[in-house]
Amino acid sequence: MNSSELIMIGLELMLLGMGSVFVFLILLVAVTTAMSSILTRFFPETLAVAKPSKRARPAAGAAIDPEMVAVIGAAIKQHRSRHG
């Protein structure tokens, strides 16, 4: 075997390998798309309804919640201790 025959065999193997991977990926995309469309047809997603929060939000200009101030202050203190 000379070098040109070896190169041709190598190119054939490369094309065979790359072709099989390409075909596999195309089949994977097709099967995944088909499965997704089948599942959405038979099992449609139900829209989640947002539940109103139990804690009423203060109106604009209302007093600031002291608990929220304490939480924000603790977060700032922790951030500064880690990065400063």
User: Which segments within the chain are labelled E, that is strand?
Assistant: none
Q: How far apart are CA 55 and CA 67, in angstroms?
A: 13
Cβ contact 52:45 at 8 Å: no
Residue pLDDT tens, the chain, 84 long: 899 999 999 999 999 999 999 999 999 999 999 999 999 998 887 777 777 666 666 565 567 888 888 999 999 999 999 987
pTM of the full predicted structure? 0.49
Determine the pLDDT at residue 61. Answer: 57
What pLDDT sits at residue 53? 66
Contact 54, 61 (CB under 8 A): no
H or E stretch at 18: helix 3-42
Give CA–CA dist 35/30, Å, rounded: 9
Residues 15, 11: Cα–Cα separation, whole Å:
6
